[in-house]
Amino acid sequence: MEEVSKVQHGIARSGRRRAGAVRLPLSVVIGKIAALLGAVAVLLLFVWPIARLVHLSVAGEAGLTLSIYNELLNQPRFWSALWNTFIIVTGSTLLSVVLGMTVAWLMAYTDLKYKKLLHLIILLCFILPSYVLTLSWSAFMGSQGMLAELLKGLGIPGEPWSMYSYSGIIFVMGIHHFPLVYLFTVDVLRKIPRDLEWASRAGGAGRLKTFRRITFPLAMPGLAAGGLLVFLASLDNFGIPAFLGTPANITVLSTLIYEEIIGFGPAAFARGASLSVILGIVAVIGTMLQWLMLRKSKTSETTMPDYSPRYLLGSRRKWVGGGLWALLLFITAVPLLAMISLSFKRAYGLGLIPSNLTLDNYRYILFENAKVWQSIQNSVLLSVVTLIICMVVGSIFAYIRVRKPSALSKAAELAIALPYTLPGIVFALSMILVWMQPLPGVNGGIYGTIYILYIAYICRFLILQIRASMTAFMQIDPSMEEAARIAGAGMWRKWKTILLPMLLPGIVSGGLLVFLTALTELTVSALLYSSGSQTIGVTIFSFEQAGNTLYSTALSSLIVLLIAVGGTSVLLLQKWLSRKGLGGANK
């Protein structure tokens, strides 16, 4: 607003001085109107639902009341869910941190071979949707699963470890999230200048002491930020406790909210809302802590990562490398194979011999059950539309955010981040509350159709694209753009020939993330789907709940194939773009 009045003041002033030579800065006016509309849209789409949620949790018949919270605190069910959440989140976070830090150290500092491939395999654990990982492990560890058969074959007595337990949930969650810790830490480790370690060694400290007193404290901000992110992700996770906890009667906050809403009954929404507010507050506090940690480690942002190895493993390289490969394959590829092989069986529990194999499960889900085919179409369409809208809107917003930073755009970014910061189940409930009756007494035709899923996906995943695009923009010095304008390029030519070729690889990798996350989404869809608008995740969940493990593993195997195809095609596209970008050399 200040700028508007400044400009107007300027117009008035020059108008007095040189009548007739005034030009109304139309672009400024249009910009202001666009900013205003954007602000309204952000408030309505991102902030209003949360406000409705909080309001519902404290709304009573006569004004505001805390009675719902009171009632909640008196329920043993709530306290046991809280306790379960605490144990599971803490345990899995610890596992992720230890695993992530170890792998990050090996990848950053040692001379292991095939690091690029290892990096991809590490990420695989996180790329696979949590319910696919869960199904894989339960197929692998099941009482008649692959491991059980192996034990029987070897004549070893005993049963495999049951995944439907606290330890099972903690384990699957821990291995699903450890790549997050790895990603955060490996870069921080690489950016610690190696002469700091040399200085410590020259100062008389041994290797161990150097790690303890120099490397570890310097890596701490990255590690803590990664740990907090895992904490948040575990709090948010719905798939793992829903698949593994529900049969064993282990309820956590996210599944408790789901059960409240699904169970309906009087005041179900209000109870769900109050639970959501509690879960949301924990998540927001965690995010703020993580943000503080990251700010602390920002100082090292300008230093370049150092990719050359610092510790030569020598003759131990074979063992360490082999061990790491074995570990990574054991936690992803082997269970995945168990799941895929299960999907080809005639019946659960049969041995893996040719006569027991069949394509019936696939035939059923693809051709005999129209709902499954519908859900695949829904998910693909949902993720493509989400991808396109997020790419366009997210990149435009990222450009404004990076090149013309203002308090308004910063606030908008925070608001847009809200749906992703909050646990999915909380966000989904807030969407129901707003879109059930967008205006008092009006249904609006959004809730109960697939449109609410479009809105929810776009709102939740937009921030992922914005962050990726912002990173891409920040890597381009403003002078690149200025050089284009000096060279006479107008808006269109500047974007087409200079900015987009440089930005596309970054924007596309953000888009890939949005696409894959949307394609395999479960939490939000589980609350928002209705007949005809079920997604792949929801369908797998329904099969699993009904005990149709063969169908759920078949569909999961299909989704793994879809991820592989989608991921590879986007990577190829990215490669093609970057080659096209550099292709000028051949002209």
Residues at the site binding other proteins, with contacts judged by CB under 8 A: 7, 10-11, 13-15, 21-23, 25, 477, 479-480, 482-490, 493, 497-498, 501-502, 581-582, 584-585, 587
Q: Please, which residue, 61 or 477, has the CB nearer to other proteins?
A: 477
Closest CB 30 distance from other proteins, rounded Å: 15
Strand partners, 60: 63
Closest CB 488 distance from other proteins, rounded Å: 3
Q: Please, which residue, 402 or 540, has the CB nearer to other proteins?
A: 402
- Output the CA torsion 100→105→107→109 (10° steps): 170
- How far apart CA 278 and CA 275 sit, in angstroms, is 5
Closest CB 25 distance from other proteins, rounded Å: 7
Closest CB 163 distance from other proteins, rounded Å: 49
Q: Please, which residue, 10 or 217, has the CB nearer to other proteins?
A: 10
- How far apart CA 191 and CA 301 sit, in angstroms, is 8
Closest CB 20 distance from other proteins, rounded Å: 12
- How far apart CA 60 and CA 67 sit, in angstroms, is 8
In DSSP notation, 240-253 reads HIIIIIGGGT---H
Q: Please, which residue, 153 or 584, has the CB nearer to other proteins?
A: 584
Q: Please, which residue, 547 or 583, has the CB nearer to other proteins?
A: 583
Q: Please, which residue, 30 or 267, has the CB nearer to other proteins?
A: 30
Closest CB 13 distance from other proteins, rounded Å: 7
169 φ/ψ angles, rounded to the nearest 5 degrees: -60, -45
CA 426 to centroid of chain Cα atoms:
15
439 φ/ψ angles, rounded to the nearest 5 degrees: -120, 150
Q: Interhelix angle for 130-141 vs 334-343, to 10°? A: 80
- Which residue in this structure is represented by tokens 């943000």? 291
Closest CB 37 distance from other proteins, rounded Å: 25
Closest CB 9 distance from other proteins, rounded Å: 9
84-87: long-range pairs with CB below 8 Å, 24+: 84/166, 84/245, 84/250, 84/251, 84/252, 85/235, 85/252, 85/253, 85/254, 87/166, 87/170
Closest CB 470 distance from other proteins, rounded Å: 19
- How far apart CA 426 and CA 278 sit, in angstroms, is 10
19 three-class SS: coil
Q: Please, which residue, 28 or 54, has the CB nearer to other proteins?
A: 28
Q: Please, which residue, 207 or 493, has the CB nearer to other proteins?
A: 493
Give, in degrees to the nearest 5, the angle at Cα 261 between 258 and 267. Answer: 140
Ordered alpha helix ranges (H), 65-114: 67-73, 76-109
Q: Please, which residue, 74 or 479, has the CB nearer to other proteins?
A: 479
Closest CB 195 distance from other proteins, rounded Å: 23
426 φ/ψ angles, rounded to the nearest 5 degrees: -65, -45
Q: Please, which residue, 355 or 479, has the CB nearer to other proteins?
A: 479
The Cβ of residue 540 has, within 10 Å, a number of other Cβ atoms equal to: 30
The H or E element spanning position 59 is strand 59-60
